[in-house]
Amino acid sequence: MNELLEEGAGRGLDHRGRTALHHAIRDELDALRKDCSDGISRELDNSFWEQVEGRLALLPAMSLVGAQNGTGVVLHTNLGRAPWASEAITAANQVAQYGTVEISRETGGRGRRDKTIAQLLAQLSGTEDGLAVNNNAAAVLLMLSSLAQERKVVVARRELVEIGGSYRMPEVISAAGATMLEIGTTNRVHLSDYESALEDPDVACLFKAHPSNFEISGFEGEPSLEELASLCHERGVPFVYDLGSGVFNGAHLPGLSGEPTVPSALEAGCDLVSFSGDKLLGGPQAGLIVGATPLVEKLRRNMMTRCLRLDKTILAALEATLRLHALGEEVACSHIPGLSMLGRAVEQLQKTADLMASQIVQSCPGISVDVASCEGRVGSGASPNEPLPSIGLLLQVEGFSAEDFALKLRNGTPPIFSRIQGEAVLLDVRTLSATPEELAFLLSSSLA
Ligand SMILES: *Cc1c(COP(=O)(O)O)cnc(C)c1O
């Protein structure tokens, strides 16, 4: 395949990008093999390449395309958050046509769409049941609308956060048809605030949200999860926690020290915990809810759950990702790209950067390159103020400002997203997936 790719590129057939060329060659090879087995003799000659060209011409020009992330933000929301594990990509591919989405292999009749996901979520979290919906924003809406419609939700003022876009806690609570009962101040909330709020018989649940993209420091404080949980259990009120990023494995990784894990939140006594599929879980976009069966079942019966259900490819990718987590810390942290990127040590990044730099010097005569320390971020609301020490390539092209060169890179095939540092374009090596050869090729072709 590598030889064919080179030959195709030599024939100028890589104008839609290497991936498109790869797919066109692969599909035409399949056709050629089929013809040969049907007794039609064919060769890898000019007519083969004409067919490949025809396949490329049929491809619609896509606006949503794969990209290289040189920003150093591992879970970059605008670049699609978590990159999927190859196991997840394969699983999604396999069900893209027909698949055992909602069918029983035993009876051939209807099966349950989320049964395996529910079991895996429960097993990983150390609880009874789980549910998956479109995203965590939907999960929070579903929890509050199922438990607190036309009733009150107790929430601390210091947790009335805006996550980004238009996701603002007070608005989510009102969209769920519930009324917010705000307690405490912007910096502190006491157990006694919660105790008095729960005197109100109209309170349906206590809601807690992870602050995600901001931090309160200085004179601040709040009761522990355990204290809140035992208060809730005493009063018979469910304790709902929107955790944001769902950590199962990788809690030891740089940048994640302050993140609560899903099992620890449940162990502390939370009744329902929700989190995203595409943050630190490292899978596809989804909203996951875990807890005891009676509560999860209540959500499952809500009509809204049907409106928020997942596509078959997402279900498959999610199942594959959860299975990697179930295999334990070591497998999860090496196979799930978001986690393995966070685990890359600076010395390792330095080696990659050096290899990339020498390849660029060798094959991109117009580009000057320096290797330097830089700072990345976890992204997506995990440890917002904690930099990830990293290594970057500082690139400059004579006659181009850094902004102009960055624009060229964004217009490449595939596009490369960078940061600007001083006069140079910075590519943080941690989040790049290209090999040194691929990167040098992309850089030189973006200037061509
Ligand atoms: C990210 C986040 C959300 C939104 O999750 P999505 O999966 O993007 O819908 C909600 N709550 C918290 C605390 C978050 O960090």
pLDDT band of residue 16 (cuts 50, 70, 90) is confident
Mean pLDDT, rounded, for 228-250: 96
Residue 287 CB–ligand 1 contact under 6 Å: yes
pLDDT band of residue 19 (cuts 50, 70, 90) is confident
Above 90 in pLDDT, residue 253? Answer: yes
pLDDT band of residue 297 (cuts 50, 70, 90) is very high
pLDDT band of residue 15 (cuts 50, 70, 90) is confident
The percentage of the chain sitting over the pLDDT mark of 90, rounded to a whole number, equals: 86
Domain with CATH 3.40.640.10 in the chain: 86-335
Instruction: Determine which of 99-113, 137-151, 332-346 has the lowest per-residue pLDDT on average.
Output: 99-113
Q: Is the pTM of this model over 0.85?
A: yes
Above 90 in pLDDT, residue 383? Answer: no
Which pLDDT value is given to residue 399?
A: 92
Which pLDDT value is given to residue 105?
A: 93
Mean pLDDT, rounded, for 358-378: 96
Above 90 in pLDDT, residue 174? Answer: yes
pLDDT band of residue 380 (cuts 50, 70, 90) is confident
Kindly report, residue by residue over 184-206, the tens digit of the pLDDT: 999 999 999 999 999 999 999 99
Which pLDDT value is given to residue 77?
A: 94
pLDDT band of residue 72 (cuts 50, 70, 90) is very high
Which pLDDT value is given to residue 214?
A: 84
Mutate to test the pocket of ligand 1, among 163, 166, 243, 259 (most ligand atoms within 8 A of CB): 163
Query: Cα–Cα distance between 424 and 418 in angstroms, integer?
Result: 10
Ligand 1 centre to CA of 212 (Å) is 8
Ligand 1 centre to CA of 365 (Å) is 44
* Closest protein CA for atom 15 of ligand 1: 244
Which pLDDT value is given to residue 213?
A: 80
Kindly report, residue by residue over 331-340, the tens digit of the pLDDT: 999 999 999 9
Above 80 in pLDDT, residue 381? Answer: no
**Does the domain made of 86-335 have the CATH classification 3.40.640.10?**
yes
pLDDT band of residue 163 (cuts 50, 70, 90) is confident
Q: How many CB atoms lie within 10 A of CB 218?
A: 5
Burial zone of 399 (CB within 10 Å; 0-12 exposed, 13-18 middle, 19+ buried): exposed
Ligand 1 centre to CA of 276 (Å) is 6
* Closest protein CA for atom 6 of ligand 1: 136
* Closest protein CA for atom 7 of ligand 1: 136
User: Can you tell me which atom of ligand 1 is nearest the CA of 209?
Assistant: 13
User: Can you tell me which atom of ligand 1 is nearest the CA of 212?
Assistant: 15
Asked whether the beta carbons of 209 and 159 are under 8 A apart, the reply is yes
CA dihedral 155, 158, 163, 164 (to 10 degrees): 120
User: Can you tell me which atom of ligand 1 is nearest the CA of 380?
Assistant: 1
In whole numbers, what is the pLDDT of the chain averaged over residues? 95
Mean pLDDT, rounded, for 72-98: 97
Residue 244 CB–ligand 1 contact under 6 Å: yes
Ligand 1 centre to CA of 404 (Å) is 34
Which pLDDT value is given to residue 405?
A: 97
Mean pLDDT, rounded, for 95-115: 94
Domain with CATH 3.90.1150.110 in the chain: 68-83+344-448
pLDDT band of residue 448 (cuts 50, 70, 90) is confident
pLDDT band of residue 138 (cuts 50, 70, 90) is very high
Helix axes 46-58, 2-10, angle to 10 degrees: 80
Topology (CATH level 3) of domain 68-83+344-448: Aspartate Aminotransferase, domain 1 (3.90.1150)
Query: Cα–Cα distance between 430 and 428 in angstroms, integer?
Result: 6
The percentage of the chain sitting over the pLDDT mark of 70, rounded to a whole number, equals: 100
pLDDT band of residue 258 (cuts 50, 70, 90) is confident
Which pLDDT value is given to residue 408?
A: 95
User: Can you tell me which atom of ligand 1 is nearest the CA of 77?
Assistant: 8
Above 90 in pLDDT, residue 306? Answer: yes
Of residues 315 and 113, more confidently modeled: 315
Q: What's the one-letter identity of residue 308? A: L
Mean pLDDT, rounded, for 21-29: 93
User: Can you tell me which atom of ligand 1 is nearest the CA of 242?
Assistant: 13
Which pLDDT value is given to residue 430?
A: 98
Kindly report, residue by residue over 421-437, the tens digit of the pLDDT: 999 999 999 999 999 99
